Amino acid sequence: MLDWDFLESELENFRAAGLYREPDDGLVRQSWLREAEARGLVPIDASSNDYLGYAADPVSRETYRGATGSGASRLIHGTRPIHRALEGAISTWVDQPATLLFASGYAANLGAIGSMAQSGDLIISDALNHASIIDGCRLSKAEVTVFRHVDIGAVESILRMEGSKRRCWVVTESYFSMDGDSPDLCALRSICDQHRAALVVDEAHALGVFGAGGSGLCSQNGLKPDILIGTFGKALGAQGAFVASTTLFRNWLWNRARSFVYSTALSPMLAAVVHENLTRAQQDKSGRVRLETAGGELRRLLMSAGVRVLESSYGPIVPVLLGTPERAVAVTNDLVAQGILVQAIRPPTVAADSCRIRVTLNSTFSDEHIRRLADSIIEACAE
């Protein structure tokens, strides 16, 4: 029989370093609700990526009547008209010729990045790219080089050396989920064009939040990436994801993206929910304006009280830097006891000395919510 002790001792190391994680079966959520109720306060969930506040809404009766499952992968008779309708709507939204749905953003990055680059190619990837991008890079047969977060000069030097020798792919997020900041997308586009490299942008946290009709930061900055990836699990309040690009690349994904080919097609019911939420998000200008003003106000209140907000951050993601994992957990627990749910972010998601709480805003937050959030964070950080 296999000796499993090696796993136990590894987990012990995690525990000793304060890095052990487990789903809490909703216990933190329950205590957060209980504490808020006991104090007669409205509970504030500042931990989700549900930026426009759609995730908890019930499904409309008409959508609810739709088929639950596709019964097979898209290539094995799992394609339904709603899949094609949603893909068409997304292509129009992000202004790309063709779109392909995936079961999750993780699967989309694995499928797109893992299949796009060939042996001998070079992928140039931002140091803070999401784990799904990193895993997509690992899955591809290309060499991967990582550049310092949002350092456009570093990308330019790499491309100057490599661009004429081999095919290069620059991969970045448009709005980074842990730092709430962005690269200079226009500069990246122009450097990629100069060196005949492809620009691949994951807009997971920007879609619905930035740009006309919530069409993201590429659109807001007036540029087109070669490949654009988005997920439905953030501002669209549901689940699933897409890759949008040329028809040629979509056809390539049909044939080569294993996380598409060998996976059950997105539930038609879910696709219908996403379609509804997409239409809603496109019209939700007031939600986007609210996110911007609420983010600005929270930052102003925190920074004027000396709280360390990551300075390069903007928009609905407000990272409060705390240092050690223990301190991040202590501040998180303190906030939960005040009826405020935030997420402690620790390694391996961020470096060991830049643990933080990641406060994410929701367009439904009132001025009173923002004031309470600020007061509670200021108090918790002072202890």
Respond yes or no: is residue 173 known to be catalytic: yes
Residue of 83, 87, 130, 182 marked active site? 130
Beta carbon nearer to ligand PLP, 50 or 156 = 50
- Could you tell me the sign of the dihedral formed by the alpha carbons of 81, 87, 90, 96, in that order? negative
Q: Site residues for ligand PLP, window 118-137 (CB under 6 A)?
A: 130, 132
Residue from 105, 213, 225, 325 in contact with ligand PLP (CB under 6 A):
105
Q: Minimum Å distance from CB 96 to ligand PLP?
A: 17
**Any idea which residue has 């749910």 for tokens?**
341
SS3 letters across the chain: CCCCHHHHHHHHHHHHCCCCCCCCCCHHHHHHHHHHHHCCCCCEECCCCCCCCCCCCCCCHHHHCCCCCCCCEHHHHHCCHHHHHHHHHHHHHHCCCEEEEECCHHHHHHHHHHHHCCCCCEEEEECCCCHHHHHHHHHCCCEEEEECCCCHHHHHHHHHHHCCCCCEEEEEECCCCCCCCCCCHHHHHHHHHHCCCEEEEECCCCCCCCCHHHCCHHHHCCCCCCEEEEECCCCCCCCCEEEEECHHHHHHHHHHCHHHHCCECCCHHHHHHHHHHHHHHHHCHHHHHHHHHHHHHHHHHHHHCCCCECCCCCCCEEEEEEECHHHHHHHHHHHHHCCEECEEECCCCCCHHHEEEEEECCCCCCHHHHHHHHHHHHHHHHC
Residue from 202, 226, 276, 284 in contact with ligand PLP (CB under 6 A):
202
Beta carbon nearer to ligand PLP, 36 or 103 = 103
Respond yes or no: is residue 193 known to be catalytic: no
Q: Site residues for ligand PLP, window 240-279 (CB under 6 A)?
A: 241
Q: Establish if 110 lies at the interface with ligand PLP (CB under 6 A).
A: no
Respond yes or no: is residue 149 known to be catalytic: no
Residue from 32, 93, 106, 169 in contact with ligand PLP (CB under 6 A):
106
Kindly indicate which of the ranges 154-162, 201-209, 272-280, 367-375 contains the residues binding ligand PLP, using the contact rule CB under 6 A.
201-209
Q: Minimum Å distance from CB 129 to ligand PLP?
A: 7
On whether the CB atoms of residues 214 and 51 are closer than 8 A, the answer is no
Residue of 87, 162, 202, 203 marked active site? 202
Q: Minimum Å distance from CB 257 to ligand PLP?
A: 15
Q: Establish if 287 lies at the interface with ligand PLP (CB under 6 A).
A: no
Kindly indicate which of the ranges 186-194, 197-205, 299-307, 318-326 contains the residues binding ligand PLP, using the contact rule CB under 6 A.
197-205
Q: Minimum Å distance from CB 370 to ligand PLP?
A: 24
Respond yes or no: is residue 234 known to be catalytic: yes
Q: Establish if 117 lies at the interface with ligand PLP (CB under 6 A).
A: no
Q: Establish if 223 lies at the interface with ligand PLP (CB under 6 A).
A: no
Q: Minimum Å distance from CB 231 to ligand PLP?
A: 4
Q: Establish if 172 lies at the interface with ligand PLP (CB under 6 A).
A: no
**Which two three-digit tokens encode residue 181?**
């900041």
Q: Establish if 156 lies at the interface with ligand PLP (CB under 6 A).
A: no
Residue from 63, 91, 99, 104 in contact with ligand PLP (CB under 6 A):
104
Respond yes or no: is residue 297 known to be catalytic: no
Residue from 47, 91, 231, 360 in contact with ligand PLP (CB under 6 A):
231
Rounded Cα distance between 52 and 208, Å, is 8
Respond yes or no: is residue 130 known to be catalytic: yes
Q: Establish if 113 lies at the interface with ligand PLP (CB under 6 A).
A: no
Rounded Cα distance between 318 and 321, Å, is 10
Active-site residues: which are they?
49, 130, 173, 177, 202, 205, 234
Residues that bind ligand PLP (CB under 6 A): 104-106, 109, 130, 132, 173, 177, 202, 204-205, 231, 233, 241
